[in-house]
């Protein structure tokens, strides 16, 4: 993959692999330079010059093939690095045989420094540390065998020399692992940025359409619903319900799951509009904290909608007010739904409907770990507050793959569509 959505030069993971390939090839090139220096300065010291030239040619050809394949694939291939390790181990044996024992600790024995530099590729290519250590052991054991068996070095002197192999491979592995993690993280951040940009663009487009609807259609519908322009009270209530549905779209509460809190509350608002009760809904916090809608259990959603419906019924039947304010507030742990009216109010200590309302709501909310509070003063209206805890994000039981079906479409449809399928007493066609 040369290009993708995050940039013209490929993803972060791809770029990390390319950097590692270049680093491995530069190390290999440095090793080949060492071979050239050894030939230029120490050629008279070799007992078999033809064999040395043949070994250098084989190493150079193998390095060229390895570099060509890696650069074409733009990534390090572990099995090829493993093959290269075996090749270098064989080179250590051949190089030791072509080098006199007296030169075993000099650049004359060029395969030792070359294999040490080439070992960096092991750490860069292999993702698992056990693989890195395994291939490093192959080089280390081969070097000790050549040094002790062919150059007659004491073991106590040869074994410590292998420490450079492990230092090179382990450090290279740690650096490569860091670069790969950084590349993956860069891709994740890039994907999040793209998603946020798409969300922002969609939100800006929605706001543009919402402003047009609000400035023209919605204001006209709400004016017709409030005024005396239409004599038929049933038709006026129908328009009020249509306006409530349109306002829910304008404010960003479109169709959702059938047990979604926003959908349930908007259904309540439309139903109460048909009864003549105008409900002003402030759900900004619910929209801004979208995950709160998924962190409510199904039982909590039903309890809140039922309790809110009971509170609105109380407003419509007993308060004498023609409107109510419903508001949702969200914190990190809880969601609170409140209903306020400026009707006649009642004495919560003596009023029968107040006592029944309180007990009914508290029973519903207690079953889902919530609480209900009712405050009312005669002549000053009633305030109902319903609060439930939010589930932890990891404990959300809903199936995220579920999508709205026929029932969702039915509930999300505007009141006029449902009225056309199910004529009721306020259907304009039945006047």
Query: 227-244 b/e with 16+ CB inside 10 Å = b?
Result: eeeeeeebbbbbbbbbbb
**3 state SS of 371:** strand
Instruction: List phi, psi (to 5°) of 341.
Output: -135, 155
Pinpoint the alpha helices (H) of 214-297.
Answer: 219-226, 233-250, 261-274, 284-288
Q: Count the neighbouring beta carbons within 10 Å of the beta carbon of residue 351.
A: 16
Q: How confident is the prediction along the chain (431 residues), in pLDDT tens digits per residue?
A: 344 444 445 688 888 999 999 999 999 999 999 888 888 888 888 888 899 999 999 999 999 999 999 888 888 989 999 999 999 999 999 999 998 888 888 878 889 999 999 899 999 999 999 999 999 999 999 999 999 999 889 989 889 999 999 999 999 999 999 999 999 999 898 888 888 888 888 878 777 766 776 666 666 766 766 666 766 666 666 666 666 666 666 665 555 444 578 878 888 887 887 777 888 888 777 776 766 767 888 888 888 988 988 888 888 888 888 889 999 998 888 899 999 998 888 876 666 555 566 777 888 888 889 999 888 888 888 999 999 998 876 445 444 433 333 333 334 444 444 443 343 333 333 32
Residue from 291, 296, 286, 397 nearest 338 by CA: 286
Structural element, H or E, at residue 362 = helix 352-366
Do residues 370 and 299 lie in contact, with contact meaning Cβ atoms separated by under 8 Å? no
What is the C-alpha to C-alpha distance for residues 195 and 199, in angstroms, rounded to an integer?
6
Written out in words, the top-level CATH class of the domain with range 256-430 is alpha beta
Instruction: Give the pLDDT confidence score for residue 347 in this predicted structure.
Output: 76
Q: What residue has token string 């000790």?
A: 144
Instruction: Give the pLDDT confidence score for residue 125 in this predicted structure.
Output: 93
What is the C-alpha to C-alpha distance for residues 19 and 42, in angstroms, rounded to an integer?
34
Instruction: Give the pLDDT confidence score for residue 414 in this predicted structure.
Output: 47
Instruction: Give the pLDDT confidence score for residue 208 in this predicted structure.
Output: 76
Contacts (Cβ under 8 Å, ≥6 apart) of 267: 305, 411
Structure-block tokens of residue 54 = 């043949």
Pinpoint the alpha helices (H) of 99-232.
Answer: 111-118, 120-125, 129-149, 155-161, 163-213, 219-226
What is the C-alpha to C-alpha distance for residues 244 and 251, in angstroms, rounded to an integer?
11
Instruction: Give the pLDDT confidence score for residue 121 in this predicted structure.
Output: 92
Q: Where are the domains of the chain?
A: 12-190, 256-430
Structure-block tokens of residue 328 = 């949702």
What Å distances lie between residue 186 and 10, 13, 125, CA to CA?
A: 11, 8, 20
What Å distances lie between residue 400 and 149, 171, 404, CA to CA?
A: 66, 43, 11
Instruction: Give the pLDDT confidence score for residue 267 in this predicted structure.
Output: 81
Sheet holding 323-330, edge to edge: 278-282, 323-330, 334-341, 381-389, 371-377
Instruction: List phi, psi (to 5°) of 365.
Output: -70, -35
What is the pTM (predicted TM-score) of this model? 0.53
Contacts (Cβ under 8 Å, ≥6 apart) of 116: 164, 165, 168
Instruction: Give the pLDDT confidence score for residue 128 in this predicted structure.
Output: 93
Q: How many CA atoms lie within 13 A of 189 on its CB side?
A: 9
What long-range pairs does 130-136 form, CB within 8 A, spacing at least 24? 131/78, 132/169, 132/170, 132/173, 133/166, 133/169, 133/170, 135/81, 135/82, 135/85, 135/169, 136/165, 136/166, 136/169, 136/170
Instruction: Give the pLDDT confidence score for residue 384 in this predicted structure.
Output: 92
């Amino acid at each position: 993959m040369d290009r993708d959505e995050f940039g013209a030069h490929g993803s972060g993971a791809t770029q990390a692999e390319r950097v590692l390939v270049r680093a491995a090839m530069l190390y290999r090139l440095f090793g080949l330079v060492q071979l050239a220096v050894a030939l230029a300065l120490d050629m008279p010291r070799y007992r078999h010059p033809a064999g040395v030239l043949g070994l250098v040619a084989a190493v150079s050809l193998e390095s060229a093939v390895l570099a060509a394949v890696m650069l074409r694939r733009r990534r390090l291939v572990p099995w090829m690095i493993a093959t290269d390790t075996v090749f270098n181990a064989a080179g250590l044996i051949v190089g030791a045989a072509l080098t006199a024992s007296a030169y075993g600790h000099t650049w004359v024995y060029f395969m030792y420094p070359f294999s040490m530099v080439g070992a960096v590729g092991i750490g860069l290519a292999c993702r698992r540390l056990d693989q890195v250590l395994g291939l490093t052991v192959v080089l280390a054991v081969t070097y000790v065998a050549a040094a002790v068996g062919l150059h007659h070095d004491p073991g106590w002197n040869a074994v410590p020399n292998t420490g450079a192999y492990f230092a090179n491979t382990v450090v290279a592995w740690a650096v490569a692992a860091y670069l790969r993690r950084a590349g993956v993280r860069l891709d994740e951040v890039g994907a999040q940025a793209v998603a946020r940009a798409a969300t922002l663009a969609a939100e800006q487009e929605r706001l543009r359409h919402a402003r047009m609807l609000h400035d023209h259609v919605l204001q006209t519908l709400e004016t017709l619903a409030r005024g005396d322009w239409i004599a038929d009270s049933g038709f006026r209530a129908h328009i009020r319900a249509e306006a409530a549905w349109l306002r829910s779209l304008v404010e960003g509460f479109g169709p959702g799951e059938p047990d979604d809190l926003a959908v349930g509350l908007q259904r309540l608002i439309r139903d109460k509009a048909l009864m003549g009760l105008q409900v002003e809904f402030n759900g900004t916090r619910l929209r801004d904290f979208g995950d709160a809608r998924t962190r409510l259990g199904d039982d909590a959603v039903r309890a809140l909608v039922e309790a809110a419906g009971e509170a609105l019924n109380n407003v419509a039947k007993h308060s004498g007010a023609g409107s109510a304010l419903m508001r949702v507030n969200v914190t990190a742990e809880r969601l609170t739904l409140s209903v306020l009216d400026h009707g006649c109010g009642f004495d919560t200590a003596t009023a029968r409907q107040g006592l029944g309302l309180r007990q009914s709501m508290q029973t519903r909310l207690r079953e889902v770990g919530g609480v209900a509070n009712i405050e009312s003063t005669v002549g000053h209206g009633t305030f109902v507050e319903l609060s439930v805890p939010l589930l932890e994000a990891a404990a959300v039981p809903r199936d995220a793959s579920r999508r709205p079906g026929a029932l969702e479409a039915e509930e999300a449809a505007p009141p006029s569509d449902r009225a056309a399928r199910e004529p009721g007493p306020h259907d304009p066609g039945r006047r």
